[in-house]
Amino acid sequence: MHKSKPYDYTKKAMQISNLNHGGNVYANAKQLNLLPSEIIDASASLVPFPPPQILIDSLNMEIKNLGFRYYPERNLSDLKEIIGKFHAINPNNILPGNGASELITWAGYEASKFGISCIPSPGFVDYERSLNCWNGNFIHCELPKTWNNIFPQSFPIHPKGDVIWITNPHNPTGQLWEKNSLEAIIKKYKLVICDEAFLSITPNGEKESLIPLTKKYDNLLVLRSLTKIFNIPGLRLGYIIGSSKILKQWTIKRDPWPLNSFAIKAGIDLLSNQKFYQEWTDQIHSWINIERKRVCEKLSKIEKLKVHNSSTNFFLIESKESLSRNIKYLENKGILLRECTSFRFLDDKWARISLQTRKNNILLCKEIQNSFRK
Ligand SMILES: Cc1ncc(COP(=O)(O)O)c(C=O)c1O
């Protein structure tokens, strides 16, 4: 009888150690001798639903057709066309990538040509990585640390510089920025990169998208990711929308086959069915609205803790004392929070939490409460 081999975590764990990102499920599972699926990962902000049948069928079809035996189509024209139809954008203004992360690397290449990049901070750590790849100059521009619970909000800072990196909704704070306030920003900078990785899952988020403005402004690049919405971080699929001239230049320089055939097929199938997409996102928005209220109310009862307002599926907590001990306690229980010391202007008194299924949220809140009693 075939006996399955124990899962080999070692290599995977080594690959992800020392990275300033959440989602270090492999390392934690190895440490606790658990399967990755047994970890409650509240450090990476993904949608915790089972995968949609369209995705499973799509990947199965790719195996059945032995699609992996051929080099993927190089100019990605079918995928660009579907994304174009989806957003009402000319396919020449679209470039799919190996996750939004690959396109962040190219956005950093573009930004480094213009001068100083402003990174509103605390902010997503990958922008800094990408600028460092190209010896780009950047400054961290501090965002206010308090905000109200009415979203969208006006973008609060207008720092001096040549390029600005906007994240909408903002990571790690979860603030949703208002489109009009962002349009004013576009006029002030030589280049604006707007990362909308979480916008489609954010209730009432889509109204604030800058995608329609790419038709009006050549200095605007808008990034999207399918990672969060479909919980496919392992597939790697994102795209960027902007000037066809810029995107053409990147295409000449990038790897010949950045997207694998599974990601291409899945992207086409997931975005070509509008009815499915609408139902899927409606379900996500109602999960976020219900669970965020429940979890935030529960955690707000902890005396030492301040729970910050968020428009989306993750939020920040701030404690009067270091949270390192609490995070360690939770890690030993197989629950991961995103510690915040790698975010500029935050420290060990902060942590970012992403929403889980109802059952796991109950467990998460209970263990967070316990961690303060120890
Ligand atoms: C704001 C933001 N943009 C982009 C990404 C990367 O997305 P992808 O998985 O598509 O590379 C992340 C991942 O955490 C993120 O938080």
Give pLDDT, residue 8: 39
How many angstroms does the Cα of residue 301 sit away from the middle of ligand 1? 31
How many angstroms does the Cα of residue 205 sit away from the middle of ligand 1? 17
- 100 close to ligand 1 (CB < 6 Angstrom): yes
10-19, 26-35, 113-122, 224-233: lowest mean pLDDT where?
A: 10-19
How many angstroms does the Cα of residue 228 sit away from the middle of ligand 1? 8
CA angle 207/217/170 to nearest 5° reads 45
Q: What is the mean pLDDT of residues 14-21?
A: 43
- 165 close to ligand 1 (CB < 6 Angstrom): no
Quick: pLDDT tens for 298-334: 999 999 899 999 999 999 999 999 999 999 999 999 9
Mean pLDDT value across the chain: 93
The alpha carbon of residue 207 and the mean position of all alpha carbons in its chain are separated, in whole angstroms, by 18
- 28 close to ligand 1 (CB < 6 Angstrom): no
Classify 19 in phi/psi space as left (phi over 0), alpha (psi -120 to 50) or beta: beta
- 127 close to ligand 1 (CB < 6 Angstrom): no
- 197 close to ligand 1 (CB < 6 Angstrom): yes
Bond from prior residue into 169 cis (ω within 30 degrees of 0): yes
Residue burial 58-88, b: 16+ Cβ < 10 Å; e: rest: bbeebeeeebeeeebeeebeebbebbbebbe
Structure pTM?
0.92
Distance CA 348, CA 368 (A): 16
How many angstroms does the Cα of residue 170 sit away from the middle of ligand 1? 11
Quick: pLDDT tens for 105-131: 999 999 999 999 999 999 999 999 999
Q: What is the mean pLDDT of residues 68-79?
A: 94
